[in-house]
Structure 1
Amino acid sequence: MKFADFHNGQVIEAGPYAITEAEVLQFANAYDPQWFHTDAAAAAEGPFGGLIASGWHTCGIAMRLVAKAALEGSESFASPGLAYVKWPNPVRPGDTLRLVADVIEVRLSEKRPTLGILRWRWRLFNQRELMVLELEATSLFKLEA
């Protein structure tokens, strides 16, 4: 999508994305090697009753879905960051995730009129409709003069 295609109140949906145990283990071993992400036997005895995906892995899945659904082919070039990120429920191997992105604000920069600014809320839901991720992101778009 191009920056001009976004508008306040717009809802963008993407997915599904099925997550496997092998993927959970691979990501966790590389980037978040905590026992509840990497050791299925220990995790079964832990507070979540089984292996769970890293929250950072969950963010990466959301990014992939957003990139494919909305940012591919756009003028998007960066993000100054997130207002917040929450993981209200764990992601487990075998879950199927879907993304809902709500456009909060679309505007041009007051100082740089060739800079488009998009604020949006991303939510990931599993197959039971439990929210597993919520964040608010800002995306920047380089526009033609």
Structure 2
Amino acid sequence: MEERYLEDFAPGQIFRSDRLTVTPEAIIAYAREYDPQPFHLDDAAARGTLFGGLAASGWHTASLTMKLLVGSEFRPVGGIIGGGMEELAWPRPVRPGDELRLEIEVLEVRLSQSKPRQGVLRARCTTLNQRDEVVQVIVPKLVVPRRG
């Protein structure tokens, strides 16, 4: 896939990712390491919580979103370099067996005031499950090199 410079992006562009399936083993392994709460570690324990069953950590969802983003057709030159986050929301949990995909909408492209060789791109990255339900929305500001 072709990498893109700042000039190759425009507000309104939509990019998409492939899909990935979330396994219960992956949910539990991530939780053991980074978010060891009962609703992320054990389905039986999770049934008695507001989740009503095993649910991936929001941070796991964010990590999966990053994997989808890096592998998508979006591809800025030099990689995906964050310059901050304006929004992060998890409107519904990710469950074992969910098949996730990502839609990236370019919201704004602007030149850097202080660094003429780069600019800032704002995008809405929406992670959806197999039922097209939104499981995460992030709006990062990304640093993207300019051409030449």
Same fold (TM over 0.5): yes
Q: Which runs of no fewer than 5 residues in structure 2 stay unpaired?
A: none
Alpha-carbon offset, residue 141 of structure 1: 2.0
| More displaced stretch, 53-62 vs 111-120 | 111-120
One-letter amino acid of the structure 2 residue matched with residue 55 of structure 1? G
Q: Percent identity?
A: 38
Residue 76 of structure 1 contacts residue 139 of structure 1 at CA under 8 Å; is this kept in 2? no
Residue 2 of structure 1 contacts residue 75 of structure 1 at CA under 8 Å; is this kept in 2? no
Decide which of 85, 100, 106 is 2:103's aligned counterpart.
Answer: 100
| More displaced stretch, 94-103 vs 44-53 | 44-53
- Equivalent residue runs for 1:1-145 within 5 Å: 1-3=3-5, 4-70=7-73, 72=75, 74-76=77-79, 78-143=81-146
Residue 40 of structure 2 contacts residue 57 of structure 2 at CA under 8 Å; is this kept in 1? yes
Alpha-carbon offset, residue 129 of structure 1: 1.4
Alpha-carbon offset, residue 25 of structure 1: 0.4
RMSD: 1.6
Query: What is the rounded CA distance, in whole Å, between the counterparts of 2:37 and 2:108 in structure 1?
Result: 37
Q: Which runs of no fewer than 5 residues in structure 1 stay unpaired?
A: none
Query: 1:77–1:98: structure 2 CA closer, same or farther, 3 Å change rule?
Result: closer
Query: What is the rounded CA distance, in whole Å, between the counterparts of 1:107 and 1:58 in structure 2?
Result: 29
TM-score (norm 1): 0.92
| Structure with the higher strand share, 1 or 2 | 1
Runs of 4+ in 1 over 3 A off after TM superposition: 70-73, 142-145
One-letter amino acid of the structure 1 residue matched with residue 57 of structure 2? S
Report how many residues are paired.
145
